[in-house]
Amino acid sequence: MSSTRAVAADWIKRIADDERKRDAERVKEDQKTARKADLVRRNGQRLVDEVRATVTRDVEAYCDEFAGERARALRQTRRSRLRRRASPARGLHR
């Protein structure tokens, strides 16, 4: 009877060890997610502002490159969306 108990105890120990390993991995993943969220909370607006400034600079450079070519003209909306300016033909039909 003790050998049966030992076999039963072995498989239970393996399951318990697997559960503990999964728990440790979950904790590690939760900590990683919390660190990322903290970074976004602390630096998110700065990063968004940097991207917005870079896009604005690049749009201005693009527009300068094609100055006078209305078909390639872009404009940036308040929400930082890029739009093609309406061509004269399209502008009349709206």
Q: Look at residue 60 in the predicted model and tell me its pLDDT.
A: 86
> What pTM, to 2 d.p., does this model score?
0.46
pLDDT in tens, 58-83: 888 888 888 887 777 776 666 656 66
Residues 6+ apart with CB under 8 A from 76: 55, 56, 59, 82, 83
* Rounded CA separation 63/57 (Å): 10
Q: What is the pLDDT along the chain (94 residues), one digit of tens a residue?
A: 556 666 678 899 999 999 999 999 999 999 999 999 999 999 999 998 999 899 889 888 888 888 887 777 776 666 656 666 665 555 444 4
Paired strand residues for 75:
83
Question: Domain ranges in the chain?
Answer: 2-89
Q: For tokens 């999964």, what's the residue?
A: 22
